[in-house]
Amino acid sequence: MQQAQPRLDARSVMQASHRACRFDPYETILARRSGQELIDRLALLDIVPKHILDLGCGAGIEAGLLAHRYPTARVTGVDLCIASFQAHEPAGTWSAVVGDAAGLPFSADTFDLVFANLVLPWCEPVITLHEIARILKAGGVVVFATSGPDTLKELRNAWSRVDDREHVHRFADMHNVGDALLQAGFSEPVVDVETLSFTYCDLKGLADDLRALGATNAATRRRRTLTGRSRWQAFVEAYQPLKHDQGRLRATFEVVYAVAWAGENALPGQGSVGVDLPQ
């Protein structure tokens, strides 16, 4: 039977991760805001984790915060791009591993907490959630932030006036995220959404923010040829500022937050060669 085409091109995702390493991670306002929100929400959970995974850790800013919040825990960061944490060496409070969310290099039942800040939009989410379920111990918890369908709606609408190609990824809404968690074997999912808006002087500012997030277009249906001058100009003209934004360009980001618990019936997933962490 023929398999469905992946929605994302893995090579493009890797290239976007490498480009993101050139930017200062502390200036990625959206990622730092959602990361801090997830950290703050952990205070509401009655957990004392011994082993924590920061999935898609990047430079490890949130990994460091997790190590500070849980000083007796062993915090491990995993990222697709080794350059992410080579450019920003771990501070000794956490360790870094290269790995792919589609086949995490850990044994089953390894972690008490999996933390994932804005990494699911750049993965195949069904596969990733099953992998998270596999590596979590029974009673363990996953907390994550991901992108909702209104993310970059202005960018999507502007390009829709130019051509019919996919310029912005299709993101799952809050209800689909909850359903995906249940299908992966999680219990008691709690999902909510926050809508944020940022304004920019020009499209270059927005493009730089997206590159810093590693959030450039990696859709398999994207246009592969260079953007000609006439098409770009049509896009610029379509992406006009709203009247009340004083000439600045608005970009919307819908952030979906979720927490769910791993149970005895969590699906095992496929996995890869396991790495056992010390007790």
The model's pTM: 0.86
Pairwise CA distance, residues 123 & 100, whole Å:
9
The whole-number pLDDT of residue 272 equals 36
The whole-number pLDDT of residue 244 equals 84
Per-residue model confidence as pLDDT tens digits over 136-155? 999 999 999 999 999 999 99
For the chain, residues with pLDDT lower than 70 are: 1-6, 8-10, 12-14, 16, 83-92, 217-226, 264-279
The whole-number pLDDT of residue 3 equals 40
Helices (H), the chain: 10-20, 29-41, 61-69, 83-86, 125-135, 153-160, 174-183, 203-212, 229-238
Domains of the chain, CATH where assigned: 10-148+171-196+253-262 (3.40.50.150)
- Return the H-helix or E-strand segment holding 142: strand 136-147
Pairwise CA distance, residues 124 & 102, whole Å:
7
Exposure string of 149-186, with b = 16+ CB inside 10 Å and e = fewer, is bbbbebbbebbeebeeebbbbebbebeebbebbeebbb
